[in-house]
Amino acid sequence: MRKLNTRGFTFVEMLLVLTIVMIITGMVWSISYKHFQRDEYNRAVEQFRITMHYAQTYATENKQQINLMIVDNKTLIMYYQFEKRIIEWDFPKGMTAQIYTKDRKISFNLNGHIVHPGSIELFTPEKTWKFTVNFSKGRLRLQ
């Protein structure tokens, strides 16, 4: 009588384990990707807020009118006279922005005061952030 080798695993058992591992990996990847996207959007909103405050500070320190404009709903440009760019960056994929002011840009005068009040909205598939820009210094509110 011959003994069977009971030390290893059968091919079917190995396929079953690999299938379970692949399913778990797919679930974890899906959850972590959504979390990564949410963090990327939050960083972009914070970067936008910082850029707004930087534009106001730059206008005050350099005694120049500074403008913020959004091009194609996805690129933020900070510039002064005659389109001389200071900062330019793109919003993350899936995020768009819209400025609602008189001339479609946010302008800070030489004293850092906002020239035209309005609002800016940042859109993602899951959420919308709204910044309200009022007259005077330091009047940026996130709603």
Residue 71 DSSP SS3? strand
Q: Residue 119: inside a domain, yes or no?
A: yes
pLDDT confidence band for 140 (50 / 70 / 90): low
The CATH number covering residue 132 comes to 3.55.40.10
Q: Which residues contact 139 (CB under 8 A, 6 or more apart)?
A: 114, 133
Structure confidence at residue 2 as a pLDDT band (50, 70, 90): low
27 domain-assigned: no
Residue 114 falls inside a structural domain: yes
C-beta separation of 95 from 104 below 8 A: no
Query: What is the residue range of 48's domain?
Result: 35-142
**pLDDT for 112:** 86
* 94-107 residue pLDDT tens: 999 999 988 888 88
CA pair distance 21, 73, nearest whole angstrom: 41
Interval 11-64: pLDDT, tens: 898 999 999 999 999 988 888 888 899 999 999 999 999 998 899 899 999 999
**Element at 62 (helix H, strand E):** helix 11-62
- Taking only the tens place, the pLDDT of each residue in 108-136 is 888 888 888 888 999 999 899 998 887 66
Question: Could you give the number of structural domains in the chain?
Answer: 1
Which residue did the predictor score with more confidence, 3 or 62? Answer: 62
Would 30 be classed as within a structural domain?
no
Q: Are 98 and 120 in contact (CB under 8 A)?
A: yes
Per-residue pLDDT of 63-77, as tens digits, reads 999 999 899 989 998
Please give the model's pTM, rounded to 2 decimal places.
0.75
Rounded to an integer, what is the distance from CA 99 to the centroid of its chain? 15
**Rounded Cα gap, residues 81 and 84, in angstroms:** 6
Residue 137 has pLDDT above 60, yes or no: no
HSE at residue 46, side-chain half, CA atoms within 13 A, is 6
